[in-house]
Amino acid sequence: MPEETEIRRVLVITAHPDDVDFGAAGTVAAWTDAGLDVTYCVVTDGDAGGSDPSVSRADMAVLRRAEQAAAAKCVGVDDVRFLGYPDGRVEATIGLRRDLARVIRQVRPDRVLCQSPERNYTRMPASHPDHRAVGSAALDAVYPDARNQFAFPELLADEGLQPWTVGEVWMMAGPQSERFVDVTETFSRKVAALRAHESQTGHMDNLEEFLRGWLIRSAQLGGLAEGRLAEMFQVLQTG
């Protein structure tokens, strides 16, 4: 496992705007505070989100891009990229693998954070089909696509993107977790990031209470001290 001091760049790959903020915003804030460069790659624009039928899907996409950019700033992230796939219809296609391999070669991260491709039967919302599809494509893009010069040769021949090997992958929202990150000190920024997603969380008067209870339970699972808050992940070595 790479030493934490060897990690300089992190690429976060998620299906929708707000996914990273529910799953890992406290951790991301800790990483940026420690000097890591973090980039977000959001596969869809979240155009199937919200509950107001008077808002067009095109307008919702624009709104959610802006919300994600604002949320990212709450945790120290300025580089947010969108791939524009249709919300609710993502599949782990060759095309998506190529697009994610391209971003990996552009960013050249030491660590990738993504969603789990496995269904979590204890937390059904975490296992949205878009989440699982993006998680699967992200893992395939990490290995073997991004590191293999003969995978998607057009990335090298036409775009000059050299192969890149990611050192480790952190997965969120899966059925297994063994890494628990104490986010007590960055919790307020996680809440602020989620509040930035007004179209999705504006109706949640109990958002902070809900998040605190969720993260307390995670901390307890990880054996953290009473009253601490944690986000949890499964960590994979890619060598």
CATH number of the domain encompassing residue 121: 3.40.50.10320
Q: How large is the average pLDDT for residues 75-102?
A: 98
Q: Does residue 142 contact residue 97 with C-beta atoms inside 8 Å? A: no
Q: Give the number of residues written for the chain.
A: 239
Secondary structure, 3-state, 2-31? CCHHHCCEEEEEECCCCHHHHHHHHHHHHH
Alpha carbons 169 and 129: distance in angstroms, whole number? 20
Residue 126 binned pLDDT confidence (cut-offs 50, 70, 90): confident
Indicate the helix (H) or strand (E) that contains 79: strand 79-85
> Is 224 part of a structural domain of the chain?
no
What is the domain count for the chain? 1
> Is 192 part of a structural domain of the chain?
no
Q: What's the predicted TM-score (pTM) here?
A: 0.95
**DSSP H helical ranges for the chain:** 19-33, 57-74, 94-107, 129-140, 153-157, 187-195, 198-201, 207-221
- To the nearest whole number, what is the mean pLDDT of the chain? 95
> Is 74 part of a structural domain of the chain?
yes
pLDDT at 3: 58
Alpha carbons 173 and 134: distance in angstroms, whole number? 13
Burial of 51 (0-12, 13-18, 19+ CB in 10 A): exposed
Q: How large is the average pLDDT for residues 204-232?
A: 96
Q: How large is the average pLDDT for residues 192-213?
A: 95
> Is 97 part of a structural domain of the chain?
yes
> Is 187 part of a structural domain of the chain?
no
**Top-confidence residue, 202 or 10:** 10
Candidate from 3-12, 92-101, 184-193 with smallest mean pLDDT: 3-12
In which domain, by residue range, is 105 found?
4-174+233-237
> Is 119 part of a structural domain of the chain?
yes
> Is 67 part of a structural domain of the chain?
yes
Q: Does residue 36 contact residue 29 with C-beta atoms inside 8 Å? A: no
Structure tokens at 16: 């929708």
Structure tokens at 186: 């960055």
> Is 150 part of a structural domain of the chain?
yes
Q: How large is the average pLDDT for residues 144-173?
A: 97
